A and B are shown apart, each in its own frame.
Chain A
Amino acid sequence: DQQVKQNSPSLSVQEGRISILNCDYTNSMFDYFLWYKKYPAEGPTFLISISSIKDKNEDGRFTVFLNKSAKHLSLHIVPSQPGDSAVYFCAAKLYSGTYKYIFGTGTRLKVLA
């Protein structure tokens, strides 16, 4: 049962344009959502997060939007740069006695110069 889904395995965007990565979830008990970025041969690194009580969080070129009614999360990167080319994972945090993180399958973003 995949509680966190990234339905687009890959995305190509022209440099300077907006990249939009999407994530859907099924469990309404998730209280935090995070995005991680992963380059080949490296571990994922934290990018940005959002609490379930907010609908938007912005950090420089990165903005995460949360639509709780649709159980949908998106990451916007504006403007996209070639260095943004990586695999992006969304993750959701659940507390049920202890904290648990559930990751999506990832979306490979390619920013074309």
Chain B
Amino acid sequence: KAGVTQTPRYLIKTRGQQVTLSCSPISGHRSVSWYQQTPGQGLQFLFEYFSETQRNKGNFPGRFSGRQFSNSRSEMNVSTLELGDSALYLCASSLAERQGYYGYTFGSGTRLTVV
């Protein structure tokens, strides 16, 4: 079974630009969550999508948005990039309501650097 695939792996963008990150969950997983990892901040929850609908949202500004397609693939968009957006962005998929025991399966992440 293929794992969670995130593309691209690395990205360098300039302040003010926008960026789109992609995540393909494990086949059969309908829930996709996005996290931002920065040193000292751990994993900060961005949002969760299930069946093309946003179910949960973290405390991030409106510049961060996402969507999920009918095949469960998800994209995350950050507009008007700031230097502080430099981070590892992780996508995690899970079996909808049966998340309980195993939680998420994470992708390897997209390392975004804003210069």
A residues whose Cβ falls under 8 Å from a Cβ of B: 6, 9, 32, 34, 36, 41-46, 49, 89, 91, 93, 98-106
Contacts and interface: CB of A to CB of B under 8 A. Distances in A.
Interface of B: 4, 6, 33, 35, 40-45, 48, 50, 55-56, 90, 92, 97, 99-109
A39 to B, nearest CB: 10
Contact of A43 (B41, B99, B109): B109
Given A32-B101, A103-B35, A103-B42, 7 more contacts: A32-B103, A43-B92, A46-B102, A91-B43, A99-B100, A100-B45, A100-B56
A49 B102 CA distance: 7
Query: Which 9 A-B residue pairs are closest in the complex by CB-CB distance?
Result: A43-B106, A105-B42, A103-B43, A98-B55, A43-B108, A34-B103, A44-B106, A99-B99, A43-B107
A101 B104 contact: yes
Contacts of A101: 33, 45, 103-104
A6 B41 CA distance: 11
Contacts of A43: 4, 6, 90, 92, 106-109
A91 B35 contact: no
Contacts of B4: 43
Contacts of A98: 48, 50, 55-56
A34 B102 CA distance: 8
B57 to A, nearest CB: 10
Contacts of A9: 40
A94 B20 CA distance: 29
A102 B41 CA distance: 12
